Amino acid sequence: MFKTKGRASSPLMRRQAAYGIAYITPGMLIFLVFCIAPIFMTVFYSFTQYNLAQPPEWINLENYQKVFTNSQLRRALFNTVIYVIITVPLQTLLAMFVANFLAEYLNNRYGRFLRSVIFIPTLASYVAAASVWEVILASKGGLLNEILGIFGVGPFNWLGEPTSALICVSLVAVWKSVGYFTIIFYAGIMNVDVSVREAALIDGATPSQRFWKITAPLLKPITYLNVTLGIIWSFQAFDIVYKLTGGGPFGATSTVAYIIYAYAFQDFRIGYASAVAVLLLLVILLVHFIQQHFFEGKED
């Protein structure tokens, strides 16, 4: 970026380049030390037996052999994929609709208030959010069952049944994150040229047409960002699971990130946990490439 190809750089350009390098060095060092180096260290540890109490011992692919035959991990990976499939589309679409509603119909003080309200769950810690939902979803005396009971429905053991537990955990995650994605979508919509929307309005486009034909296509870069972040964060789901179900019942909500935590920080099987982490990284990269291809394909 500092040197033009095929042209000798001038002293001015060299000086500018030197300044540029100097400016970005602290940031780059932090990035290298705290982001890049740990990735390489994780890859290295994944080939070792390491428990913090002894130096790492190189064991070739033994951890990976175990990882691929680990039924618990297979189940966690399956749960994680289901979790991603539920949360990412739901939170993305919900956020997009809410943002569009706020921008189109509530671009006033009420809308500003509503934006703040929607954003509140994002500000709450996962532990606090999970504690609240624990009370709501409790099988006996839980708020949801009490309300359903008024209509003669239930009670249901929301967190005690495998299917409903995973769905509940996913929905709580959507509730927690939808505010964040709404704000990003809202900012994107407000950046859409007003004349485009006005032209559609004059041409007699219905609200549905305006949303699907105008707003949604123009929000594609924002959608790409939100889907990417959503997928990455969902694959790393841990806090909400840890607090709400502890991975149960019968492993129905255990996720890969939860398994990594248990292996690494309960048993100190750092090498094994690293192998799982590398596997998770590869899965996320694979999904990301598929997603990138999908979005690029649409653009073409």
Partner 1 sequence: MKKVLALALALMLCVGMFAGCGEKSASQNIEGGTQTSDTQTGGTSGDPAELTLWLPIYQFGDGISDEEFWNQKLDAFEAENNCVVNLEILSWSDYATVIYTGMLSGAGEGPDVVYVTETYDLINAGLLAPLDEYITEEDQEKYVFLDQGAYNAEGQLCTWPMMAGNPCVVFYNMDMLAAAGITELPTTWDEFYDVCVALKETNPDVWPFIQSWGATNGVSAMLASFWPFFFQAGGTVLDDQGNLNLDSDATLEVLNFINKLKADGIFDDSIVTMDDPNGKFVNGEAAIIINGTGNAATYTEQGINWQCSLGLEGSGGLATNFSVDSLAVASYCEEKALAADLIKYITSAECMDDYHEQIYGMPSLTTDATYTEPEPFQSMYTNDADKMHVVPSFEGSASFMDQFQQNVQGMLMGQLTPEQVIEQTMTYYNEQIVS
The CA-based angle 30-34-38, given to 5 degrees, is 145
Q: Tell which one of 9, 25, 108, 206 touches partner 1 (CB under 8 A).
A: 25
Smaller CB separation from partner 1, 27 or 297: 27
Rg (CA), the chain: 24
* Residue 267 interacting with partner 1 (CB under 8 A): yes
Q: Is 237 helix (H, G, I), strand (E, B) or coil?
A: coil
Smaller CB separation from partner 1, 102 or 275: 275
Smaller CB separation from partner 1, 51 or 291: 51
Q: What is the largest CA-CA distance in the chain?
A: 82
Structural contact between residues 133 and 141, judged by C-beta atoms closer than 8 angstroms: no
Q: Which of 209, 231, 206 is nearest to 86 (CA)?
A: 231
* Residue 184 interacting with partner 1 (CB under 8 A): no
Q: Tell which one of 2, 23, 110, 289 touches partner 1 (CB under 8 A).
A: 23
What are the C-alpha distances in Å from 48 to residues 108, 207, 233, 273?
A: 59, 58, 27, 11
* Residue 170 interacting with partner 1 (CB under 8 A): no
Which range binds partner 1 by CB under 8 A, 18-26, 114-122, 173-181, 286-294?
Answer: 18-26
> How far apart, in whole angstroms, are the C-alpha atoms of residue 136 and residue 144?
6
* Residue 247 interacting with partner 1 (CB under 8 A): yes
Altogether, the residues listed in the chain come to a count of 300
Q: Tell which one of 45, 185, 235, 242 touches partner 1 (CB under 8 A).
A: 242
First to last CA, the chain: 28
Mask: binding to partner 1, 87-126, rule CB under 8 A, as x and -?
Answer: ----------------------------------------
Nearest-approach distance from CB 239 to partner 1, in angstroms: 12
Whether the bond into 155 is cis, omega within 30 of 0: yes
Smaller CB separation from partner 1, 105 or 265: 265
Chain residues binding partner 1 by CB under 8 A are: 19, 22-23, 25-26, 29-30, 33, 49, 51-55, 66, 69-72, 134, 138-140, 157, 159-162, 242-251, 254, 262-263, 265-269
